[in-house]
């Protein structure tokens, strides 16, 4: 049976929640940008960090930082008066 990594599962769930929330608040294009944009950004950066440094701690910090940055950008785009 495959092993489930709680940190990776949490990351994926939060990424999906962010994309769904963005899609609901700003439209399907925002949801698609969050889904594909994060994928296109996170995967190569993670691979580059791991191939150059071998540091899983650095890769994890950068990955979570990108997700947090995307969440902040999304929240800044939402109009609270609607």
Give residue-wise pLDDT tens across range 32-78. 999 998 889 998 999 999 999 999 999 999 999 999 999 999 999 98
How sure is the predictor about 1, in pLDDT bands with cuts at 50, 70 and 90? confident
Q: So where are the chain's domains?
A: 14-76
| Residue environment code for 42-75, b if the CB has 16+ CB neighbours within 10 A, otherwise e | beeebeebeeeeeeeeebeebbeebbeebbeebe
pLDDT at 81 over 90: no
Give residue-wise pLDDT tens across range 5-25. 899 899 999 999 999 999 999
**According to the model, what pLDDT value does residue 47 have?**
92
∠ CA 39-80-28, rounded to 5°: 35
**According to the model, what pLDDT value does residue 51 have?**
93
């Amino acid at each position: 049976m495959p092993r489930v990594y709680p940190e990776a599962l949490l990351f994926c769930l939060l990424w999906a929640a962010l994309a769904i929330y963005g899609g609901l608040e700003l439209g399907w294009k925002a949801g698609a940008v969050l889904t594909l944009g994060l994928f296109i950004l996170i995967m190569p950066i993670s691979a580059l960090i791991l191939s150059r440094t071998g540091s899983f701690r650095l890769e994890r910090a950068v990955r979570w930082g990108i997700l947090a940055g995307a969440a902040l950008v999304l929240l800044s785009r939402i109009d609270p008066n609607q």
